[in-house]
Structure 1
């Protein structure tokens, strides 16, 4: 998570900013700003990547190939040689008479001046065996006087850029560290036992003593690291707790289901029975929207667990109470899938469902907008077009956002602002087929109420997953022939639409041509994101109607396509997809009573991450286990979507490794808000600054 300054800049910050504004910025200053290093606190929290040990000098005779050391010696000879290319070759000799060759393939006249014969130099680098004995290639070096003191602490090496020399950055950070407002904000006794004060922790991490454990520093296990992680986790927990508190003060329309109301009529009309899990979460949502406080609930359920019908029941309650409901989905295909189901369930009950996407134009669009604005439409379904400026609602009380991680923060904030009515906030139900691992739910979704559909409807068949190298492609095509001969349908998913110089992947168009040639007499369709909406709709209609047997598609079919007769899913270049995306795609088959297979085709060689993903897919179909492994492999960013405004979620802490610190921060946050609200706010300001708003979206 991006570090920010304390609530107000220090006087030294303000003076420095005024002085800086008065003169042109140097290249290093511009580079620092690009890295977000504008204030003292930013610099203080810019921690080293690694450390170099310049606290001691090793005799040349004790230096070993491949082990970085610092040596000291007198320059005996320095000359430019041409063998085979121009290079500066320097020979130094230490006090014991042992020699070391320094070799520079890139050098400047200043290098030659530093290596004047007779000059004492300190050199640091990794020795290697050379033709004339030990040598160092491009070591760091400096000319010194005899008896010059050694560094008192390990030398930090910071994340930087080519225009930002380490020496400049070290000096800037050391100065900022002395000025930064790093006073203790937390009351005594609230920091876990054994962790140092914040200023002490940062001083240690920037300038570790010579005897510091490099392993503890590099693995972020040292108490100084633990203190930073705790501070960051606490700020994040406080921000979430504040969001909960603020929401409790807001008002929303109480949406209560009456006896014999729409939701009961809908239940009676459904051609299937709800599962126990669906009944439970529908009741949780009904209780929540019945209060006068805005619901902020995440409904999670594995692929195919039946979230749409739960959303329909919530919409029926809202409409019965005299309010409108909007359902927003990230893609037109998913929005249309919801629309078809909801029209089928709700229109027989007298509810008009409006349809708003980017492809609805002209007179049709005007009619849909009027239906929403007049209140004639009780339910409005669409893509992000639902939150465009021209869209008005008569009385909108419930907003449902599907696949919420696919929407940006700004879009969700826009939705909330748009729906405000007479000082009331809408109830918000977010849905996700990517289950949230427990550690993530405890941290970044801590301000949400969580409902989980943890059972699949009866009749769903488990999907067998097979992993094949690309050499088995012909075998896979043979399997497609068998499936089609039995009247089944097949998906073939490709990761790209057109050729890319960066990725040597077969595109969807080529694959469509190849499969059409290999399977004469079989109708093979093509579906990708760049097709006109009408063309997409025509292709999907042929496939869902059963006349098209094989559909070659990009990931536009990831969510929202429901064809019970589809029994085989082939995912080409599976190593290029994220784990949750592979799981979503696999969920397009196994939706009927037919035994289904998902084939993951990969191209060697596989990276470690690629191997881990494919192994996870082959070993489990449990969405929660998939989510846990995905968090392990990739970290939490993908689960959050743009909730964090595109920045890294946690800069110092790790949800997997630091769960004990997360528990402590979670326990302290509500107590601190209650007993020391000023300290709590200062903590959020220091660590999150303006980012706190994005965590509440």
Structure 2
């Protein structure tokens, strides 16, 4: 990731401003960056194929004399040439061409063509082959030809020339100790680069293209190492900053635990102790609290916020949706009001007078705790004694939003940060993309949670599902019916929440049915949710606004419409809205045919698994790390070369070597960071 100002590249010797600007689009700003601009694939130009032996559908290189070349106008304007060797004749055609190409193909010239052979009306042909005029007897290349990622205005020949110059002129020093390379079976840096930019004719092309070749593994190990160095250095730098020390007082926190109608699980006790120890330190906590749906993260956050309040400091909890934020507020209000602690509720949907009164009390320090949506980070909200910022479902907020909450604190004092996620993070992601965080895991559910049975049902059996909802509700249970869209989409042809609500009202006249979606006003949403929680409504038709934070123990049945359109994490989150009481709970996944391979894989996982960590690992495999962590909006660096699944064995050694380098050989660490990011800490997360 580069700083935006770097895009105004001025070039270096041999590279002018115009070319430098084009190279910047490829993230190439220095000659050193060319070294790590690695091939996408390779073409074998080390051998010639007689025209008669060229196989249809496969790339081949042929050499022969041009026997004719003309521009034809039918069926469209195109350049057509015929090339003959001793075995036969091949037609080459270009639908888009330049006059210079026509000159290259003058009759009598000897040329080499590289392209895919196919059958044509006038015999075998190549369409848009690469052409190169040669002299008779000219030697063939001795290495596979690399094909690089490129952009408009930069040809492969230009890139190859620039990279070859860089390989000759840039010092290819190797900061990684030889014993580490030997233990992992990795070549040196210079050897790896040469093997990738100029592979030998006998190199295994499949290993090169699948990136299993030892040279690729060396580059991937170094990339993982640089990521670890960058993130761990950020972690160390953060610990050098000042934050309010919040020692454990144990008066209010002990009182809260004593009055709870449930006992904390061992995992909750462990996570609370880890957070309490972090808060007592004079450097900012940066901790991720992750746990499966229903594992009890809110009470852990409440204990942390109470620790701040006991020390006379403020704490804020920010959630991505109004429903989730209000759910947190109601829980905290119910737990803390008996202890004499008021909690502010900051929401864009509140009446202006009420909101301004809360803001004034926060500003003068009368209120110590606040819960809200992104309204918390708007300018009028001032919390001068903010010591702890809690962000729930942190991956839904961008870097700027998380920073804005942190900046609410006093100048010169950075608040502690506790981020929560109900999407469990696979071990490989925790070790790489989250390497600058401490992680607490809630790996057990509170006792009494009812197992949820999952059923896959084709939408052709919709009437049976409606009957199942009727029977459950007449027996005194409640049900959710979840739809993916509010309005009809012609492109997706999805049933909408509004249409489903009307359909269920017609089919189930004996039941009371409610509708909730993101476009309702806040007070309408709150009234509908309150009615459902009070069992005044038996069925709640909803969009994914109920994905997190909704807790109605009597709701034991959920129907998810067009389940094939949802992601795994969403399906798991939605399913977690039932199974919160004592009744047997069922989640019915309605799907439409035909299913794509990806949709089939997702539904198979959610049907077979209830463990959030297993589901998260499968999600990582299906979607990839960039989508999984929301990297494009979160600031998390995407890996260019390493694959977190295929290269899992390299992550641990990279992490260990990064720790060693930062502690004992910071100069080597700096050289590696300079090689990969040019001294710019672009890999650091906020």
TM-score range, shorter chain: over 0.9
Counterpart of 1:683 in structure 2 is 672
Please say if 1:617 is aligned against 2:606.
yes
- Alpha carbons 2:384, 2:410 under 8 Å: kept: no
Give 1:353's match in structure 2, choosing from 343, 353, 377: 343
What's the TM-score once normalised by structure 1's chain length?
A: 0.91
Give 2:372's match in structure 1, choosing from 357, 371, 382: 382
Counterparts of 2:329 and 2:249 in 1: how far apart (Å)?
25
Counterpart of 1:137 in structure 2 is 127
Please say if 1:62 is aligned against 2:28.
no
SS of residue matched to 1:418: coil
Counterparts of 1:167 and 1:669 in 2: how far apart (Å)?
37
Please say if 1:482 is aligned against 2:471.
yes
- Alpha carbons 1:644, 1:691 under 8 Å: kept: no
Give 2:83's match in structure 1, choosing from 77, 89, 92: 92
Counterparts of 2:2 and 2:36 in 1: how far apart (Å)?
7
Q: Encode CA deviations 1:106-145: one digit per residue, 9 max, x unaligned.
A: 5555554443332222111222344554333332223322
Deviation of 1:463 after TM superposition, in Å, equals 1.0
Q: Encode CA deviations 1:536-588: one digit per residue, 9 max, x unaligned.
A: 22222222222222222221111111111112222222222221111111111
Deviation of 1:87 after TM superposition, in Å, equals 5.1
Give 1:231's match in structure 2, choosing from 222, 238, 247: 222
- Alpha carbons 2:243, 2:282 under 8 Å: kept: yes
- Alpha carbons 1:409, 1:694 under 8 Å: kept: no
Deviation of 1:433 after TM superposition, in Å, equals 0.8
Deviation of 1:105 after TM superposition, in Å, equals 4.5
Deviation of 1:64 after TM superposition, in Å, equals 1.8
Counterparts of 1:626 and 1:208 in 2: how far apart (Å)?
40
SS of residue matched to 1:621: coil
Please say if 1:206 is aligned against 2:202.
no
Counterparts of 1:411 and 1:399 in 2: how far apart (Å)?
12
Matching of residues 436-585 of structure 1 within 5 Å: 436-500=425-489, 502-585=491-574
Counterparts of 1:42 and 1:505 in 2: how far apart (Å)?
46
Counterpart of 1:435 in structure 2 is 424
Counterparts of 2:98 and 2:146 in 1: how far apart (Å)?
25
Counterparts of 2:154 and 2:514 in 1: how far apart (Å)?
53
- Alpha carbons 2:50, 2:87 under 8 Å: kept: no
Counterparts of 1:685 and 1:358 in 2: how far apart (Å)?
45
Give 1:247's match in structure 2, choosing from 222, 238, 245: 238
- Alpha carbons 1:405, 1:638 under 8 Å: kept: no
- Alpha carbons 1:645, 1:694 under 8 Å: kept: no
Counterparts of 1:501 and 1:186 in 2: how far apart (Å)?
56
Deviation of 1:70 after TM superposition, in Å, equals 0.3
Q: Encode CA deviations 1:229-264: one digit per residue, 9 max, x unaligned.
A: 1111111111232233223323333323335x1111
Counterparts of 1:111 and 1:250 in 2: how far apart (Å)?
62
Counterpart of 2:302 in structure 1 is 312
Counterparts of 1:500 and 1:16 in 2: how far apart (Å)?
53
Deviates more, 1:30-39 or 1:583-592: 30-39
Deviation of 1:345 after TM superposition, in Å, equals 0.7
Counterpart of 1:595 in structure 2 is 584
Counterpart of 1:368 in structure 2 is 358
Counterparts of 2:315 and 2:110 in 1: how far apart (Å)?
79
Deviation of 1:619 after TM superposition, in Å, equals 0.6
The 1:602–1:289 alpha-carbon spacing in structure 2 relative to 1, beyond 3 Å, is same
Counterpart of 1:118 in structure 2 is 108
Counterpart of 2:65 in structure 1 is 74
Deviation of 1:149 after TM superposition, in Å, equals 2.9
Counterparts of 1:312 and 1:693 in 2: how far apart (Å)?
34
Counterparts of 1:410 and 1:690 in 2: how far apart (Å)?
23
Structure 1 unmatched ranges of 5 or more: none
Q: Encode CA deviations 1:469-491: one digit per residue, 9 max, x unaligned.
A: 33222222222222222222222
Counterpart of 1:47 in structure 2 is 38
Counterparts of 1:16 and 1:91 in 2: how far apart (Å)?
38
Deviation of 1:220 after TM superposition, in Å, equals 0.8
- Alpha carbons 1:508, 1:552 under 8 Å: kept: yes
The 1:201–1:253 alpha-carbon spacing in structure 2 relative to 1, beyond 3 Å, is same
Give 2:280's match in structure 1, choosing from 262, 281, 290: 290
- Alpha carbons 2:44, 2:145 under 8 Å: kept: yes
The alignment's C-alpha RMSD in Å is 2.8
Counterparts of 2:31 and 2:501 in 1: how far apart (Å)?
57
The 1:495–1:167 alpha-carbon spacing in structure 2 relative to 1, beyond 3 Å, is farther
Deviation of 1:217 after TM superposition, in Å, equals 0.6
- Alpha carbons 2:454, 2:607 under 8 Å: kept: yes
Counterparts of 2:637 and 2:258 in 1: how far apart (Å)?
47
Q: Encode CA deviations 1:56-97: one digit per residue, 9 max, x unaligned.
A: 211123222222110111223345567766655433221x24
Deviates more, 1:468-477 or 1:589-598: 468-477
Deviation of 1:638 after TM superposition, in Å, equals 4.0
SS of residue matched to 1:503: coil
Matching of residues 176-195 of structure 1 within 5 Å: 176-180=166-170, 182-186=172-176, 189-193=179-183, 194-195=185-186
Q: Encode CA deviations 1:587-610: one digit per residue, 9 max, x unaligned.
A: 111111111111222233322222
Counterpart of 1:673 in structure 2 is 662
What's the TM-score once normalised by structure 2's chain length?
A: 0.92
The 1:75–1:184 alpha-carbon spacing in structure 2 relative to 1, beyond 3 Å, is same
Q: What number of residue pairs does the alignment pair up? A: 683
